[in-house]
């Protein structure tokens, strides 16, 4: 595999573990990033995070905006639960972690290249987003929805979902009080065979669907709900 192909594969891997909150902001979990970067022990990876935080602060950047410490509940034997340390990381935080990681790890070298390229691209901030017109917000969020739908489709395939139409309607029903995609299209007065209902949503409605898509993706990856098994047919 060529270097360019490896970089593309690295990009795909990082984008697949990306999460998006209710406001459309992207973030990564440190525990998930740890595995991607080739670290097996949290203690070792945490030391890299601390170095990255120091690098952030040395650049006069507010580290709290990029490294949010959170607790994650995991299940233990016999029904017990345990809260473990984790971080919600911005793209910039991931870049700093890659820069402070072990240079002997192949994953780190690829991540450094990937995030170096990404951070050169100007990304829209929340402040910039709030200054956009409604049309600009809609187009920006619609692009995010389209991108996340691609990853959801891949996750669904890997999870064994064969009837994607039924699977998609399951998500719409949860968000729209039992309405299917066709019901929504009829309500909006569009032809679902010729037009995409997502193109007839404002930025707020699109943001709600973006959150729905990302949460469904996480459910499939974590296999948390047995009721999704009805879609694997």
Taking only the tens place, the pLDDT of each residue in 200-226 is: 999 889 888 888 888 787 777 765 444
Domain that residue 106 falls in: 3-123
Domain stops at, among 89, 123, 157: 123
Domain stops at, among 99, 123, 147: 123
Residues 160, 74 within the same domain = no
Strands 19-20 and 81-89: unpaired
Residues 112, 210 within the same domain = no
Of 3, 16, 13, 20, nearest in space to 144 by CA = 20
By the 10 Å C-beta count (0-12 exposed, 13-18 middle, 19+ buried), 104 is classed as exposed
Residues 62, 161 within the same domain = no
Domain stops at, among 123, 153, 175: 123
Q: How far apart are CA 167 and CA 70, in angstroms?
A: 31
Q: CB neighbours of 9 closer than 8 A, spacing ≥ 6?
A: 1
* Confidence category of residue 135, pLDDT binned at 50, 70, 90: confident
Residues 103, 213 within the same domain = no
So what's the pLDDT on residue 95? Answer: 85
pLDDT above 70 for 192: yes
* Confidence category of residue 230, pLDDT binned at 50, 70, 90: very low
Residues 117, 160 within the same domain = no
What are the phi and psi torsion angles at 206 (to 5°)?
Answer: -65, -40
Residues 113, 176 within the same domain = no
The residue that leads in pLDDT, 84 or 79, is 84
Into how many domains does the chain fold? 2
């Amino acid at each position: 595999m060529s270097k360019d192909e490896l970089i593309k594969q690295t990009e795909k891997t990082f984008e697949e573990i990306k999460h998006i909150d209710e406001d459309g902001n992207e973030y990564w979990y440190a525990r998930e990033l740890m595995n991607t970067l080739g670290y097996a022990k949290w203690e070792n990876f945490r030391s890299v995070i601390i170095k990255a935080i120091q690098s952030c602060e040395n650049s006069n950047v507010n580290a709290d905006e990029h490294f949010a410490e959170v607790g994650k509940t995991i299940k233990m034997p016999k029904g017990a639960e345990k809260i473990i340390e984790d971080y919600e990381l911005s793209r910039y935080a991931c870049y700093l972690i890659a820069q402070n990681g072990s240079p002997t790890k192949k994953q780190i070298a690829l991540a450094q290249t990937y995030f170096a390229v990404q951070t050169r691209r100007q990304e829209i901030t929340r402040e910039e987003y709030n200054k956009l017109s409604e049309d600009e917000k809609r187009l920006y969020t619609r692009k995010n929805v389209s991108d996340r739908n691609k990853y959801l489709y891949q996750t669904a395939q890997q999870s064994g979902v064969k009837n994607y139409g039924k699977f998609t309607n399951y998500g719409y029903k949860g968000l729209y009080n039992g309405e299917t995609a066709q019901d929504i299209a009829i309500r909006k007065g569009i032809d679902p065979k010729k037009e995409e209902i997502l193109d007839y949503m404002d930025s707020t409605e699109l943001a709600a669907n973006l959150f729905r898509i990302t949460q469904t993706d996480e459910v499939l990856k974590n296999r948390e709900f047995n009721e999704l098994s009805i879609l694997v047919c």
